[in-house]
């Protein structure tokens, strides 16, 4: 009898638990039917959004990268153009400064040659293969240029006219290696008076003129000025040629020869002045 009641209690307890669990399950099922469907729908939507958003974002990011790259390229091209323009401006400015300096030197030359008639010109051609021999200037017979005129640039003698056309002329430079056309009668003012010689050579290694036929019984020194003497009958006197840089005996030991630093920059001749003899100068 006691065992029956014990089993009965156990049965009642199990039934109660089952009923409670059933009620709980039913309650949960009824209350959560809509939220579960909605959650499932939301989950599907979220998953789909995530799946689609990755390639979409990738495409968007790629297009933004392409656009940024294009903008960067355009900015670089603009900057490069500005840099190139700046370099061109600097070169032009440098050229203008050099031209301005050359013009100033030519004006200074005009003041020192008040006893001569002068004609100014501009170099229009200089062949690289004939660089140390000749230049072509934009003044010819129409401007009064004739063969034989002395030509100066900066503050020094650079050569003489050897060929003339109506609108241009060819100038043989004092640096020419043509031994028959590079002779210039010159003199040096020294403590022994005027020392005469002939400019007849050019050292291409040191860019110096060579003055020869200087007697050994006179003394000339570095820094003495070398001028045209006018004795050759070609160039007027007192035109500056350069300054003595070095003096030594010639190869035979019979006379002295001097190396002369030209007064003009013979590697950069842009403007020139033709020198004409005048009756007043007496030369």
Q: What is the domain-level CATH number for residue 236?
A: 2.40.10.350
For residue 57, what pLDDT is reported?
63
- Whether 283 is covered by a domain: the verdict is no
Residues 134 and 85 in one domain: no
For residue 17, what pLDDT is reported?
67
Asked whether the CA dihedral 110, 263, 186, 270 is positive or negative, the reply is: negative
What is the pTM assigned to this prediction?
A: 0.61
Cα R_g (the chain), whole angstroms:
50
First vs last Cα of the chain: how many Å apart?
A: 168
Residue 109 predicted with pLDDT over 70: no
Please answer whether residues 212 and 198 qualify as being in contact, where contact means their C-beta atoms are separated by less than 8 angstroms: yes
- Please say which residue of 68, 92, 112 terminates a domain: 112
Total domain count for the chain? 2
* Mean pLDDT of the residues in the chain: 77
For residue 100, what pLDDT is reported?
64
For residue 191, what pLDDT is reported?
75
**Domain of 66, in residue numbers:** 1-112
- Residues pairing with 78 in the sheet: none
Number of Cβ atoms within 10 Å of the Cβ of 78: 10
């Amino acid at each position: 009898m006691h065992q029956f009641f014990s089993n009965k209690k156990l049965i009642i307890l199990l039934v109660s638990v089952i009923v409670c669990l059933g009620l709980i399950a039913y309650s949960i099922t009824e209350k959560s039917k809509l939220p579960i469907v909605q959650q499932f729908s939301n989950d599907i939507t979220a998953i789909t959004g995530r799946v689609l958003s990755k390639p979409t974002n990738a495409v968007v990011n790629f297009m933004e990268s392409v656009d940024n790259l294009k903008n960067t390229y355009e900015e670089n091209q603009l900057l490069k153009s500005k840099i190139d323009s700046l370099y061109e401006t600097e070169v032009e400015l440098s050229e203008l400064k050099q031209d301005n300096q050359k013009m100033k030197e030519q004006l200074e030359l005009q003041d020192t040659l008040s006893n001569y008639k002068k004609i100014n010109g501009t170099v229009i051609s200089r062949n690289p293969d004939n660089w140390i021999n000749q230049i072509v200037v934009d003044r010819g017979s129409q401007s009064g240029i004739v063969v034989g005129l002395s030509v100066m640039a900066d503050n020094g003698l650079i050569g003489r006219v050897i060929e003339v056309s109506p609108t241009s002329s060819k100038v043989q430079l004092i640096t020419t290696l043509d031994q028959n056309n590079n002779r210039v009668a010159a003199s040096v003012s020294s403590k022994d008076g005027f020392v005469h010689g002939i400019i007849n050579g050019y050292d291409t290694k040191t860019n110096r003129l060579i003055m020869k036929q200087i007697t050994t019984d006179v003394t000339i020194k570095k820094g003495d000025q070398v001028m045209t003497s006018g004795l050759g009958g070609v160039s007027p006197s007192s035109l500056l040629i350069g300054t003595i840089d070095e003096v030594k005996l010639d190869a035979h030991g019979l006379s002295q020869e001097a190396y002369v630093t030209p007064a003009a920059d013979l590697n950069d001749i842009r403007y020139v002045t033709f020198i004409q003899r005048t009756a007043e100068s007496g030369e």
